[in-house]
Amino acid sequence: MAVGDLHGDFEATLAVLRVAGLIDSAGHWSGGKTVLVQTGDQLDRAGGEEEILKLLAQLEVDAPKAGGRLVVLNGNHETMNVLGDFRYVTEDALDDFTGAEPVSPFAKSVTGPFRDRARAFLPGGQMAVALAHRPVVAQVNDTVFVHAGVRDAHVKDGLASLNREVQAFFRGETARPPAGMVDSEGPLWTRIYGGPELSSAVCAELVTTLAQLGAKRLVVGHTVQSAGITSACDERVFRIDVGLSRAYGKNAPEALEIRGSAVKILRARVPG
């Protein structure tokens, strides 16, 4: 099961997890042996970030007790916060991470309204360290999950090494972010798979990329699909960011279900 961008909307997060049948009315894991992948961008645009992070952290603990698993990816908005780019932080989220420990050593010069957030999210801070255990790219069976997309060059450069390099930067162990973390065409930022029509060249590259990974399909978020989850390249790529956060007008929640070779879109029931 996969769900896309959450962007600070806690109620929408609960709603999409219930559509997927993964939590009960009290917010506890009810997904049994299901593997859930959340493709990044829990942060920014709305004020429920702290609640979302706490819920996902608890589900990461609870799911394995039932034989399931939760894989949470870092998206471009998680990396933006670790880089100190707070332009999408909303006013109602400014005080959520006050008093976080340890304090990032890179936050000493930050003053003003983002001081506490910088202390928590810059490299080595409590939230950056918490996010550091997450991958940027994950593969579950024959499906590859990433926030924005993987291309042939990314595979050749090494996806496992990118995960390690990003995690080391989040922990404050390296001074510079890895190129793959900030590249506009990198796995966290590219929009090559997000458009309504993908060229034959893009699809051909995707075929090559998936073959190198021994995978059948790619699942991405990042680019809002206002009409709901879409696929392209003969269902080799699924785009699951449906703009469910109220920041986008709060579209109906949807989740992607993968059972063997069968892929199904789960949508919230519309009353009436």
For residue 110, is it left (φ>0), alpha (ψ between -120 and 50) or beta? beta
| Predicted pLDDT of residue 268 | 81
Per-residue pLDDT, averaged over 3-30, amounts to 97
| Predicted pLDDT of residue 272 | 42
Express each pLDDT in 164-196 by its tens digit: 999 999 999 999 999 999 999 999 999 999 999
Express each pLDDT in 114-143 by its tens digit: 999 999 999 999 999 999 999 999 999 999
Burial of 264 (0-12, 13-18, 19+ CB in 10 A): exposed
Partners of residue 219 on adjacent β-strands: 145, 238
Express each pLDDT in 186-239 by its tens digit: 999 999 999 999 999 999 999 999 999 999 999 999 999 999 999 999 999 999
Per-residue pLDDT, averaged over 142-167, amounts to 96
Identify the band that residue 89 occupies on the pLDDT scale cut at 50, 70 and 90: very high
Q: Is the pLDDT of residue 10 over 50?
A: yes
Task: Show the domains of the chain with their CATH numbers.
Answer: 2-70+135-267 (3.60.21.10)
SS3 of 63-83: HHHHCCEEEECCCHHHHHHHC
The residue written with tokens 């069976």 in the block is 141
Q: Is the pLDDT of residue 57 over 60?
A: yes
Catalytic annotation, residues: 77
| Predicted pLDDT of residue 270 | 52
Q: Count CB-CB contacts under 10 A for residue 197.
A: 6
Q: How far apart are CA 139 and CA 35, in angstroms?
A: 11
| Predicted pLDDT of residue 22 | 98
Average per-residue pLDDT for the chain:
96
| Predicted pLDDT of residue 186 | 97
Q: Is the pLDDT of residue 271 over 90?
A: no
